[in-house]
Structure 1
Amino acid sequence: MTIKPSCLVVDDETDLRELIVLTLQRMGIHADSASDLDDAKYLLKRNSYALCLTDMRLPDGNGLDLVRHINQHYAGLPVAVITAYGSADNAVSALKAGAFDYLTKPISLQQLRPLVQAALRLSKSEPSNSSELTLLGNSAKIQHIRTTIEKLSRSQAPVHIKGAVGTGKALAAELIHMNSTREHAPFISLNCSAVDTDAIEALLFGCKKESEQEKTGLFHEANGGTLFIDEVTEIPLVTQVKLLRAIQDKKITKLGSSDEDTIDVRLITATSQNMQAAMDNGLFRQDLYYRLNVIELIMPALTEIAEDIPLIASHLLEKRCKALNVIIPSFDSQALQALSQYKFPGNVRELENILERALTLCTHNKISVSDLSLPKPEKSKSTGLEANPDGLPDIALPDYLETIEKQAIINALEKTGQNKTAAAKLLGVSFRTLRYRLSKLGLSKDQD
């Protein structure tokens, strides 16, 4: 005999409570209901539930009180909060308090059903992660990130990942997806710095034009799964408005269409840029950032986890050798020491390039320091910006900073063989930003 899963519905509106209970029963789920916080706590003591749905406003408290109570006394029980239409602050507060997800009134059965199904999968067992993806390292910071990823995987809340270029933001996003209840659904990614900004809106939401074939957007492709948007600060302001609505209402509209589509997408975003500066300069909406940054994950630079560099280097080298079907060389002790002490401005991406070069140069299946060809620390050059006796540059500050920026860009271009895309990654900026700075600093003609 199959045991039906049970759900607790908490709402003081009789009609809505009965509608949700009826819907759950039609899904083969036993449902108990409570009209206030005290009744809900009483039922929680007497019964075992796979999911709790609670309204935000209750006669003797609010939904957040129940979320905190369940997290404290019934760890692992998913709680979804029902909020009034347009109550963005309430939804974010609920997710930050530990809610699994949220629903907005008037409740759409198209949104309720996938939420319930995801919560039930979460209650039954841990996801059977079959992915070969792994986050390497034994440092305290890496162990903390692993623990955080495990927690994030048990929620549907938006996640924002910060970190310099090459720190593994995309890997972290995919690990969250692969360890979640959405693991068998699509994981779709978009790097906004790699596409024309004018095309981002159509890419995300799709396009419907009479003169063209209808195009499906990434939100549609990711439906039921996860959408990862990297370098989210590159999204134009007009598109940011549509993205905000997609998060709040879980509905989207294709370009050229007036029809709304309900979506079930877990959103993860990332950036290597300074989000506060982008907001201060009017390039990024503060209300959107508030919705994206419900939970923040910060990926460390490679130098912050120097103790893990030998392990990461060995793994990357083994992976590359297997792809090339060649014998895996070993590192001598001096090479490993040099790698551990190098600053890695390009983080793991730079490490991969260094190892690929070393694999080509090494002899007798042994990688030495000379094979690594690590850039030597640059000696200070006379730039005409020497400090005066007071310790200040003898030049106006804007000109001083501009000269430093010029030199940093020139150095990056020299290191990458004038490859602007690689130079942008090395500098930790988008290709569009580098192109703009080259033009503004009068370097574009010289460097093209």
Structure 2
Amino acid sequence: MESIPKILIVDDEKNIGFLLETFLKREGYEPFYVSTGQEALKIFDKQPFDLVLLDIKMPDIDGIELLKEFKRKRSNINVIMITAYPSIETAVEAMREEAFDYINKPLDLEELKQLIERALAREKKVSKTKVFHYGNIVARSPAMLRILETLPKIASTKANVLIMGESGVGKEIIAHAIHSLSPRSDKPFVTVNCAGIPETLLESELFGYKKGAFTGATTDRMGLFQSAHKGTLFLDEIGDLSLTLQVRLLRVVEEKRFKPLGSTQEIEVDIRLISATNQDLEQKVTAGQFREDLYYRLNVIPIRVPPLRERKEDIPVLVEHFLKKYSKELGKEVPKISSSALSFLMEYGFPGNVRELEHIIERCVALETGNIILPESLVISDFKKKKHLLKEEAQLPSEGIDLEKKLAQIEKGLILEALKRSKGVKKEAAKLLNLSFRSFRYKLQKHGLNKIDNNE
């Protein structure tokens, strides 16, 4: 039997609090009403709430500060903000701190009911770890689901977005999803790789130039800012932008106008700016390598994408997605992946993240002649394999380890792998392990593997 969802109501207006309490009871929920931020923090620590309804204007603690504290204590808690003073700034600030949504006063109870149902449905979906599909985005992990389900709300605003994460996590795919969900979806999505264009060329690429602006400028050329007019400009690897270009970019971000090289006339542009970086921009600001004012202009809505090693629940569904994708492209039957190959991928650290996994699966589909992918089919460089294995084997838990048991587990695993490669022929497996057949049979008995029915 499902438990009744518990909902915390935080509002200093007691008539609103009692109204919500009555309404939620009638809808079959278990409400808890408090009128101050201090009371909210105390009861939040004592009860496992499924949802919080939080007023932004509180007398003792600001609602946004309460939201931050709730998220610090439980990062996956859904919070619906209530405000009598709706504004774009309020909405952006709430989303920055990962509120589920917000609703204006006077309250529309039917709208609130729908919001609550959506929030609780999301909680249930995350707990059941269903697979999320959107274009080229496939995810199952709660961390990614929380990001992806905020995209429609982010897309509906004009606020600048900064996507942070290691190389290969899918920052450009998320940027494209925001554009596709936005009112600008029928307008251009223009990508600029700030690290891939030499600094001497990047300024003219971004802002364009007039004929005669420099040697070789034989015609006028439109810049990428102008090309993205009415659409979205995606600045990838923004952390590699020089300080000189940062100054020019700041002016465009603030004023939405610029002069092409060699021109005296300004051009106005209407763009949605999404930036991405694999660097720690706050650290670069501290080191004087990135302008603080530009950082805050770009970082209106931050999105942090976790590396693949921190969301391993996504690996099986990504593998399945890439197997289907490249089988279709190459006109081949979709192969299966063996449990041992999938186990290796689940244990592998993926320094190249999702991009590396995609390349591994693409190679497997292209080169595999059978209908099943085995561990030896996984084309991973020896350097990466050794680096990964050394990292895994060198880890010592803080509480210590049973070394004999650990070594026995490793030995048993290698024996099973040798048997698999030799197709069960024990003499061949013994050779792979550089063991005499007598020693090999002793180890089979030691690990309870002597009953395996295969040819010697």
* 8 A Cα contact 2:330 2:366, kept in partner: no
Residue 96 to residue 258, structure 1, CA distance change in 2 (3 Å): farther
* 8 A Cα contact 1:362 1:368, kept in partner: no
Residue 294 to residue 377, structure 1, CA distance change in 2 (3 Å): same
Report how far residue 98 of structure 1 moved: 6.8
Q: TM-score, normalised by structure 2?
A: 0.55
Alignment-derived partner of residue 163 in structure 2: 161
Matched, 1:331 2:340: no
Counterpart residue type for residue 256 of structure 1: G
* 8 A Cα contact 1:134 1:175, kept in partner: no
Alignment-derived partner of residue 186 in structure 1: 188
Matched, 1:238 2:235: no
Percent identical residues:
39
Matched, 1:197 2:199: yes
Residue 380 to residue 333, structure 1, CA distance change in 2 (3 Å): closer
Q: Secondary structure in 1 aligned to 2:342? A: helix
CA distance in 2, matches of 1:335, 1:135: 23
* 8 A Cα contact 2:139 2:314, kept in partner: yes
CA distance in 2, matches of 1:179, 1:243: 25
Aligned equivalent of 1:208, options 181, 187, 210 = 210
Report how far residue 237 of structure 1 moved: 1.2
Aligned equivalent of 1:144, options 135, 143, 146 = 146
Alignment-derived partner of residue 367 in structure 1: 373
Matched, 1:96 2:93: yes
CA distance in 2, matches of 1:209, 1:282: 36
Report how far residue 258 of structure 1 moved: 1.9
The residue correspondences of 1:334-345 to structure 2 (distance < 5 A) are: 334-345=340-351
Q: Secondary structure in 2 aligned to 1:376? A: helix
Aligned equivalent of 1:254, options 244, 249, 260 = 260
* 8 A Cα contact 2:95 2:301, kept in partner: no
Q: Secondary structure in 1 aligned to 2:239? A: helix
Residue 198 to residue 347, structure 1, CA distance change in 2 (3 Å): same
CA distance in 2, matches of 1:352, 1:292: 30
Count residues with an aligned counterpart. Answer: 269
Aligned equivalent of 1:276, options 266, 271, 282 = 282
Aligned equivalent of 1:302, options 302, 308, 315 = 308
Q: Secondary structure in 2 aligned to 1:358? A: helix
* 8 A Cα contact 2:237 2:276, kept in partner: yes
CA distance in 2, matches of 1:330, 1:280: 49
Matched, 1:266 2:268: no
Q: Secondary structure in 2 aligned to 1:223? A: coil
* 8 A Cα contact 2:243 2:289, kept in partner: yes
* 8 A Cα contact 1:278 1:284, kept in partner: yes
Report how far residue 289 of structure 1 moved: 0.4
Residue 205 to residue 304, structure 1, CA distance change in 2 (3 Å): same
Aligned equivalent of 2:82, options 66, 72, 78 = 72
- Pick the structure with greater CA Rg: 2
The residue correspondences of 1:5-154 to structure 2 (distance < 5 A) are: 72=82, 79=87, 95-96=92-93, 133-154=135-156
Q: Which moved more, 1:277-286 or 1:192-201?
A: 277-286
Report how far residue 208 of structure 1 moved: 1.4
Matched, 1:313 2:319: yes
Report how far residue 317 of structure 1 moved: 1.9
Residue 73 to residue 229, structure 1, CA distance change in 2 (3 Å): same
Counterpart residue type for residue 200 of structure 1: L
* 8 A Cα contact 1:227 1:265, kept in partner: yes
Report how far residue 283 of structure 1 moved: 2.1
Report how far residue 135 of structure 1 moved: 2.0
* 8 A Cα contact 1:197 1:234, kept in partner: no
CA distance in 1, matches of 2:92, 2:211: 37
Q: CA RMSD in A?
A: 2.7
* 8 A Cα contact 2:226 2:269, kept in partner: yes
Alignment-derived partner of residue 356 in structure 1: 362
Q: Secondary structure in 1 aligned to 2:263? A: coil
* 8 A Cα contact 1:168 1:348, kept in partner: yes
Residue 280 to residue 93, structure 1, CA distance change in 2 (3 Å): farther
* 8 A Cα contact 2:326 2:365, kept in partner: no
* 8 A Cα contact 2:335 2:372, kept in partner: yes
The structure 1 segments of at least 4 consecutive aligned residues displaced by more than 6 Å after TM superposition are none
Alignment-derived partner of residue 385 in structure 2: 376
* 8 A Cα contact 1:253 1:259, kept in partner: yes
Q: Which moved more, 1:167-176 or 1:274-283?
A: 274-283
Cα deviation, 1:131-176, whole Å, max 9, x if unaligned, reads 9724211210111011221221111000000000000000000000
Q: TM-score, normalised by structure 1?
A: 0.56
Q: Secondary structure in 1 aligned to 2:351? A: coil
Matched, 1:175 2:177: yes
Report how far residue 256 of structure 1 moved: 1.2
CA distance in 2, matches of 1:245, 1:96: 23
CA distance in 2, matches of 1:94, 1:246: 24
Report how far residue 72 of structure 1 moved: 3.1
Cα deviation, 1:71-111, whole Å, max 9, x if unaligned, reads 73589x8x56xxxxxxxxxxx78853679xxxxxxxxxxxx
CA distance in 2, matches of 1:292, 1:178: 20
Counterpart residue type for residue 209 of structure 1: K
Alignment-derived partner of residue 290 in structure 1: 296
CA distance in 2, matches of 1:376, 1:98: 40
Residue 138 to residue 97, structure 1, CA distance change in 2 (3 Å): closer
Counterpart residue type for residue 253 of structure 2: I
Alignment-derived partner of residue 38 in structure 1: none
Alignment-derived partner of residue 419 in structure 1: none
Unmatched 5+ stretches in structure 1 = 1-63, 65-70, 81-91, 100-130, 382-448
* 8 A Cα contact 1:200 1:235, kept in partner: no
